[in-house]
Structure 1
């Protein structure tokens, strides 16, 4: 795969058939699907990172930062759910990932390191490139950031951070996720500037091993942060603050359960869903079956349920159900969950239901934050040697202080999605502008469509969207 580095600004405009903005999982999978389709086409993937296929999620280098789904759930091939399992089987057999024996389970139930998953994605992209070469198709990595976009009658033109200009018949926003811990905020509290990166083990090694570390947020990013601290040799107290004080449940491998939503389409509202789901979970427990079994059947229906819900029902779900949905559905990999449970049992890790209210001056070094514990009217100040922002993903593009999202919103080329989650689009991914008109040449996929489908970030979601969108773009 060719890789074009940043260069001198030029008045020349490079042309291609399809431009993909973002080269993480979404962009890489779309490129792979385009390369596998018959026909000759040139695809440019604009991504500032040195490698395609990794993005934020799969750039982790520590073995302890694993996928939160087992191999059987994480295939990038929408036509072969066993693709990752098959790849891992061959990879392990040839000496790769020797640490896999620490998980005494079949390969399909392994939770691979996220960095290794990035290698898998890259290999599948390279294989697609070989297929595309037979048809004269190419994909090129343009290493820069897109800072502006112009939609014309017959093309879309991009302006890059290095002054380059690109033009293509179609452009796809495959920007992936904006982690709150790494994303500049338009209205910033200064939290990120004062906080350690949850995945920066090297920085954590500089801390006093016995010092107190404060963490904002108790979801999967917090789990990663605790793993990072452990690998850095930290042995002191860890104080976790989140509004609801909920921890992710550990992911298990439950038996199959009846797909009750496929059998009963009268279940439409969040209230109906939760009532019926609780009934099935109680029934499963009474039979000695893991409650995760009925919960896992819901996953395939979330897009339908979310898209047919009213805005009022969606708000009810986000306000009243979301924290419990996230902790029960977006579950922790077993080894990471075991670490969190052990530290919690030892008293080193404490989870407190409290809201973060801001930073406070600290005269004695370290960092101080103001919080308000649930049920209390008054705020208080908590001090630690370091602070980690583990508040998850920022889906509201209005808050993301990056050039492209701000330009697209300011000029009305996109509009926020339902409940300001991502951006609005038609069913086929065609972006809606501020007036609600459907774009002919600008599309989106993956996390930017969170508001359209609710679950639009998982590997299987992205893989399915990539296949459908690729077919749409080459018609």
Structure 2
């Protein structure tokens, strides 16, 4: 047999190997991932695609509000959103002139900016890459994600179709769901507001209408702030199982106190004992107790991952509410509002649970079994606001694309019901217990694996780790992602 080898032209090179990414969700987590991938410079046009139904990237549900009464509950210098430049947001506030336009931002020695300002900052960070085409924003909600011919197929709710090599789920917290008793008794009644955060959600509440807020966390206090900012002056009652409100931030700047990584506690009880000891230390030293909880936050992922599954469950069952009241603290502006409203008798908090709901023509009557003795008291209000937070137990069912993937065995809930199961590399864990190499879970949906993963610095650090893993992956495919509108 005659064999002839023809030389290749000198200008012919092998087809490029690329790792193309579709990011589902364009809030802070998704925008951070897209930006970090684009900064690397290894991607061509349309190689990074972000599915996000909102007009802009970077804000999401948490920050994408225009209401000036909604502020960050963390000082701006602690919003370390850009790896390698921890003071980027603080510098931007001054350089952009936003701080000059918001004199009320300064409180207790820190800057507590409006959430809309942080969203604008993030939008400005990602915009150059959108302009260059290295990041493409598909303004649709991802409806279906499936495997097809060895790649991922993502279909949007308005006809877009994307094929990609890697998918990152970064949809953030699931939407809230009112307690069953409220939904069953007030289904279809406009006086039950199931989510107070969207713009205009509280607009119909009159200035003299009494309000019952079910929940007493930061979302409930956001609702209070929005109501008072629009002229509401009637009584507001906050109802929760413990009756405990978030604690205030400490004034001034201080370092975290406590090293929980030396002999990492491996039981819920030993963790509680270590925290109590650290609190005694800071009290004797005249330091704020908040310094201990800041140390817990910084070391939280290592602490959580050192706990066996059964001890993680004990932490969630016995310590979670107490921890969250001290971890997720009020901004000075909200703390001042709460103190003023309580002093005026317009704000009350009650510990208990709802046992009956009777809608009337003028008001809704609610029976509350109060703590600690279970005595039932009757409470009447014109409006009920559900502020119980995201429905993490229904995170997969709340999004059709995630439900499809669960049905195909590609992902599953985490054992604690906090989000989606993933491994320590943020890879989704499939039904068979093995990680899916090219499917990542980013942001709060990965809390079951990491514990502390709701703050901006922690999410930014996880995004950086995911990007490093993505950059290390190589796929021998062409560089063009197919995007078509039907």
Give your verdict on TM over 0.5.
yes
TM-score (norm 2): 0.86
- Contact 1:170 / 1:441 at 8 angstroms: preserved in 2? yes
Matched pairs, number: 448
Equivalence for 1:31: 34
For residue 58 of structure 2, the aligned residue among 53, 56, 61 is 53
- Contact 1:251 / 1:334 at 8 angstroms: preserved in 2? yes
- Contact 1:449 / 1:456 at 8 angstroms: preserved in 2? yes
Change (3 A) 1:412 1:437: same
For residue 159 of structure 2, the aligned residue among 147, 163, 166 is 163
* Distance in 2 separating the partners of 1:24 and 1:169: 22
* Distance in 2 separating the partners of 1:450 and 1:266: 19
Q: Secondary structure at the match of 2:287?
A: coil
Segments of structure 1 that go 5 or more residues without pairing to the other structure are 1-14
- Contact 2:172 / 2:444 at 8 angstroms: preserved in 1? yes
* Distance in 1 separating the partners of 2:247 and 2:54: 33
1:151-189, Cα deviation, whole Å (9 max, x unpaired): 2463111122123321100011001112416x999x964
Change (3 A) 1:346 1:401: same
Bigger mean CA offset, 235-244 vs 158-167: 158-167
1:120-150, Cα deviation, whole Å (9 max, x unpaired): 01111124557xx4xxx61111111112211
TM-score (norm 1): 0.87
* Distance in 2 separating the partners of 1:140 and 1:409: 27
Equivalence for 1:103: 106
Equivalence for 1:9: none
For residue 70 of structure 1, the aligned residue among 53, 67, 75 is 75
Equivalence for 2:146: 150
Q: Secondary structure at the match of 1:227?
A: helix
Equivalence for 2:352: 354
1:473 to partner: Cα distance: 1.1
1:296-319, Cα deviation, whole Å (9 max, x unpaired): 112121111111211211111111
Equivalence for 2:6: none
RMSD of equivalent CA atoms = 2.5
Equivalence for 1:214: 212
Q: Secondary structure at the match of 1:56?
A: helix
* Distance in 2 separating the partners of 1:161 and 1:201: 23
Equivalence for 1:293: 291
2:389 is aligned with 1:392:
yes
- Contact 1:58 / 1:114 at 8 angstroms: preserved in 2? yes
Q: Secondary structure at the match of 2:168?
A: strand
* Distance in 1 separating the partners of 2:64 and 2:294: 28
Change (3 A) 1:374 1:248: same
1:448 to partner: Cα distance: 0.9
Change (3 A) 1:316 1:121: same
Equivalence for 1:113: 114
Change (3 A) 1:153 1:174: same
- Contact 1:74 / 1:84 at 8 angstroms: preserved in 2? yes
Change (3 A) 1:401 1:367: farther
2:168 is aligned with 1:172:
yes
Greater C-alpha Rg: 2
1:292 to partner: Cα distance: 1.2
